[in-house]
């Protein structure tokens, strides 16, 4: 049987024209044969691809040991593996950095196989090499990309952890109780403020159904109704006031806000509940209201007496009384009246607060009321107050109170439009209502303030020092109009002026025969 050794010999014999040679030359891999019997194991054959891969010419290759491919890069561990394979006549398969004739690096996937003669002696080695530089480059790039992606993931994870820690420290420090529930109202987390305020431990709370917490102390019917009926419709619960007597901490008034939080994926349908304890604030408000009510009552009584005495003094003034005496008396009278109005406003406010405002409803003509009120006001101002009011509508309401509203709106229009000289008062029918509008061309009101001016004691910051007032006139107007089933609102632009509008339902014409 012919051995590989015989084959090689025949290749050697007919190196130029042998069919094997053609086969070797058409291989894509670089192939060399070294003669192990000669000193330094020289290359005795190389194919065309070997020349192409290395850039060396045939005559620069034959006779050399393969190590010239390593140039100066001699510390690679793969070199030892080759040495070992050659020394022990073993096969080896490895990837090594080699250098072309022009000095450029290429990655060589090298397979070295020993060739033995009949006696088992290693006479030759066959080396097959593939240029895997592109693959190595792609592998390297992939490795670098992976490393950079991993680095980014690590950084991002750290950032997320930091953010989470940051958020959780905020949640733990806010002075508001916060609860997160799952869609079955089971508590997933409760912040420190909640635990401290309601005197419960995390063990008593987390994992329990809200309504069963602390022996069902949170089983509060209006709250349950809101959370189970309103929230699922995707509407948040905003500033809902709940009053409840808790077993350990007593009666509490709470402002509850609840939102459904939907995060993609894992956080599906969670409920965030924020509970603000407004018990103390309510108590302070109550005391303030009590104080206002008592103070205005106490002030009103002596003032009424003073008013009476001033009127008496006016009547009793002797014929020969000096002008100075009479004008002084007039001034006293005007200021007593101003004081009286201020105290009346305060009294009205506390009456509204306690729900004790009385309405004496009677049918009246709105056009006449507007004209009379404006006429009265015109006596004390240089402003031209234009009226357009021909509705012939009859209102069923408290004429005095509606007059007070018109009076207040026009007085404000005059007060807050220095530099202007006219006010327009319109009254029109709109459906079954009349709409009364008071327009000034003064300073106007900013959009932020527009939402607050009907609150008690609110005054726009920039005018506080320039104009006197207590910030309760509009609050009273708003309440009066609401009691008459109408609405009061404002349209305004800073620097251009304001229009205060209110509506009142018109009485059915056939009811009182007018």
Task: Based on the shown chain and the rule CB under 6 A, indicate whether residue 424 belongs to the binding site for ligand ADP.
Answer: no
d(CA 79, CA 94): 10
**CA of 17: how far to CAs of 23, 24, 28, 126, 381, in Å?**
11, 12, 20, 20, 127
Task: Based on the shown chain and the rule CB under 6 A, indicate whether residue 170 belongs to the binding site for ligand ADP.
Answer: no
Task: Based on the shown chain and the rule CB under 6 A, indicate whether residue 353 belongs to the binding site for ligand ADP.
Answer: no
Q: Among 194, 218, 416, 433, which residue interacts with ligand ADP (rule: CB under 6 A)?
A: 416
Least distance (Å) between residue 480 CB and ligand ADP: 12
Going 44 to 49 to 54 to 60, the CA torsion angle's sign is: positive
Least distance (Å) between residue 337 CB and ligand ADP: 17
Least distance (Å) between residue 334 CB and ligand ADP: 18
Q: Where are the alpha helices (DSSP H) in 206-317?
A: 213-216, 221-225, 279-316
Task: Based on the shown chain and the rule CB under 6 A, indicate whether residue 348 belongs to the binding site for ligand ADP.
Answer: no
State which residue has the least CB distance to ligand ADP: 469
In the block, tokens 């089983």 appear at 219
99 in Cβ contact with 131 (< 8 Å): no
Least distance (Å) between residue 422 CB and ligand ADP: 13
Least distance (Å) between residue 481 CB and ligand ADP: 13
d(CA 59, CA 76): 27
Least distance (Å) between residue 470 CB and ligand ADP: 5
Interface stretch with ligand ADP, choices 33-41, 62-70, 205-213, 452-460 (CB under 6 A): 452-460
Q: Where are the alpha helices (DSSP H) in 174-220?
A: 192-197, 202-205, 213-216
Interface stretch with ligand ADP, choices 218-226, 246-254, 328-336, 456-464 (CB under 6 A): 456-464
Task: Based on the shown chain and the rule CB under 6 A, indicate whether residue 412 belongs to the binding site for ligand ADP.
Answer: yes
What track of x and - describes contact with ligand ADP for positions 464 through 503 (by CB under 6 A)? -----xxxxxxx----------------------x-----
- Looking at beta carbons, which pairs linking 125-129 to residues 24 or more positions away fall under 8 Å? 125/33, 125/34, 125/36, 125/41, 125/86, 126/31, 126/32, 126/33, 127/30, 127/31, 127/32, 127/33, 127/34, 127/66, 128/29, 128/30, 128/31, 129/29, 129/30, 129/31, 129/32, 129/50, 129/53, 129/98
What the block records as the tokens of 381 is 């101002």
Task: Based on the shown chain and the rule CB under 6 A, indicate whether residue 410 belongs to the binding site for ligand ADP.
Answer: no
Number of residues that bind ligand ADP (CB under 6 A): 20
Task: Based on the shown chain and the rule CB under 6 A, indicate whether residue 459 belongs to the binding site for ligand ADP.
Answer: yes
Task: Based on the shown chain and the rule CB under 6 A, indicate whether residue 460 belongs to the binding site for ligand ADP.
Answer: yes
What are the residues whose beta carbons fall under 8 Å from the beta carbon of 146, sequence distance 6 or more? Answer: none
Interface stretch with ligand ADP, choices 55-63, 98-106, 137-145, 453-461 (CB under 6 A): 453-461
Q: Among 30, 114, 127, 442, which residue interacts with ligand ADP (rule: CB under 6 A)?
A: 442
Hey, which residues does 35 pair with through a beta bridge?
A: 124
Which positions lie near ligand ADP, rule CB under 6 A? 412-413, 416, 440, 442-443, 445, 453, 458-460, 463, 469-475, 498
């Amino acid at each position: 049987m012919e051995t590989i050794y015989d084959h090689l010999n025949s290749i050697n014999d007919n190196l130029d024209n042998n069919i094997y040679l053609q086969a070797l030359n058409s291989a894509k891999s670089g192939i060399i044969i070294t003669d192990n019997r000669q000193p330094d194991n020289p290359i005795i054959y190389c194919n065309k691809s070997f020349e192409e891969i290395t850039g060396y010419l045939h005559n620069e290759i034959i006779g050399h040991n393969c190590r010239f491919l390593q140039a100066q890069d001699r510390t690679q561990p793969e070199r030892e593996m080759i040495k070992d394979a050659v020394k022990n006549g073993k096969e080896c398969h490895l990837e090594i950095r080699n250098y072309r004739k022009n000095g450029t690096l290429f990655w060589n996937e090298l397979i070295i196989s020993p060739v033995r003669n009949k006696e088992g002696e290693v006479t030759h080695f066959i080396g097959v090499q593939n240029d895997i530089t592109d693959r190595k480059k792609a592998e390297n790039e992939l490795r670098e990309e992976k490393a950079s992606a991993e680095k980014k993931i690590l950084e991002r994870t750290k950032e997320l952890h930091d953010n989470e820690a940051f958020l959780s420290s905020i949640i733990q420090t806010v002075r508001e109780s916060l609860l997160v529930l799952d869609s079955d109202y089971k508590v997933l987390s409760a912040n420190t403020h909640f635990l401290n305020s309601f005197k419960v431990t995390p063990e008593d709370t987390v994992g329990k159904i809200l309504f069963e917490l602390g022996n069902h102390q949170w089983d509060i019917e209006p709250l349950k109704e809101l959370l189970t009926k309103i929230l699922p419709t995707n509407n948040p619960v905003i500033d809902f006031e709940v009053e409840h007597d808790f077993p350990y901490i007593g009666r509490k008034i709470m402002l509850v806000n609840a939102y459904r939080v939907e995060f993609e994926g894992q956080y599906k349908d969670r409920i965030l509940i924020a509970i603000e304890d407004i018990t103390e604030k309510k108590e302070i408000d109550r005391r303030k209201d009590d104080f206002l009510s008592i103070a205005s009552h106490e002030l009103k009584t002596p003032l009424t007496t003073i008013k009476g005495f001033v009127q008496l003094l006016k009547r009793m003034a002797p014929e020969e009384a000096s002008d100075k005496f009479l004008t002084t008396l007039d001034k006293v009278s005007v200021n007593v009246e101003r004081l009286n109005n201020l105290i009346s406003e305060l009294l009205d406010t506390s009456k509204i607060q306690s729900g004790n405002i009385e309405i004496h409803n009677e049918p009246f003509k709105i056009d006449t009321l507007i004209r009379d009120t404006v006429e009265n006001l015109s006596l004390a101002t240089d402003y031209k107050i234009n009226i357009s009011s021909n509705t012939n509508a009859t209102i069923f309401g408290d004429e005095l109170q509606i007059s007070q509203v018109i009076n207040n709106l026009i007085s404000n229009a005059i007060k807050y439009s220095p530099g202007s000289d006219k006010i327009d008062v319109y009254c029109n029918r709109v459906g079954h209502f009349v709409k009364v509008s008071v327009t000034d061309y003064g300073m106007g009101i900013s959009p932020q303030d527009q939402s607050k001016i009907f609150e008690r004691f609110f005054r726009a910051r920039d005018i506080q020092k320039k104009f006197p007032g207590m910030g309760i006139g509009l609050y009273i107007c708003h309440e009066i109009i609401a009691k008459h089933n109408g609405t009061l609102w404002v349209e305004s632009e800073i620097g251009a002026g304001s229009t205060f509008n209110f509506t009142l339902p018109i009485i059915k014409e056939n009811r009182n025969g007018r």
